[in-house]
A = this chain, B = another copy of it.
Amino acid sequence: MRIGIYPGSFDPLTYGHMDIIERALKVCDKLVVGILLNSSKNNLFSLDERVEILRHCCREYENVEVMSFGGLLTDYCKKHKINCIIRGLRAVSDFEYEITLASINRRLAPDVDTVFLMARDENLFVSSSVVREVSRYNGDISTLVPPHVAEKLKAKFS
């Protein structure tokens, strides 16, 4: 069985993430969406809020499990028998960062492969940081995030 993990901060979840999750489900039999515990970052949404948002938005996918994790991604993979890391490709700078990560993860866990998927053209430029910036000033984010996330953002900034 192919079990994949799609790691990220998801602060907040965007249509770009949803796009990758849907594609990943065609490659994996089961997908763990892994929210990174990252104490050093100033997050907009708490870990609990992000877990709730992701669970809500993925509630219709039977094979998706939303989890949080700390420590090394490869340790988490070994422990949970995950054999596939899912990454979304966006821009060039991303790409460089991604092959570095994939190269290091392969050293740490040679049996875990990294699979890169590409979001639809209209989602290629969507990122969580753009969403945070636009919603902070009450800009229209309806093409960037699912309605549930839009509501949570509205509540956060009102």
Contacts and interface: CB of A to CB of B under 8 A. Distances in A.
Interface of A: 2, 23, 26-27, 71-72, 74-75, 83-84, 89, 91-93, 95-97, 99-100, 102-104, 106-108, 113-118, 120-122, 124-127, 130, 133-134, 137, 139-140, 143-144
Nearest to A72: B137
Contacts of A137: 71-72, 75
Contacts of A108: 134, 139-140
Nearest to A129: B100
A100 B125 contact: yes
17 contacts: A26-B83, A27-B84, A27-B113, A72-B139, A89-B95, A89-B116, A91-B100, A92-B92, A92-B93, A93-B97, A99-B125, A102-B118, A114-B117, A115-B117, A116-B118, A121-B122, A121-B125
B116 A115 contact: yes
Contact of A107 (B83, B107, B140): B140
Contacts of A103: 118, 121, 125
Nearest to A122: B121
Given A89-B95, A121-B124, 4 more contacts: A95-B95, A107-B144, A108-B134, A114-B117
A106 B119 CA distance: 10
Contact of A74 (B89, B91, B139): B139
A92 to B, nearest CB: 5
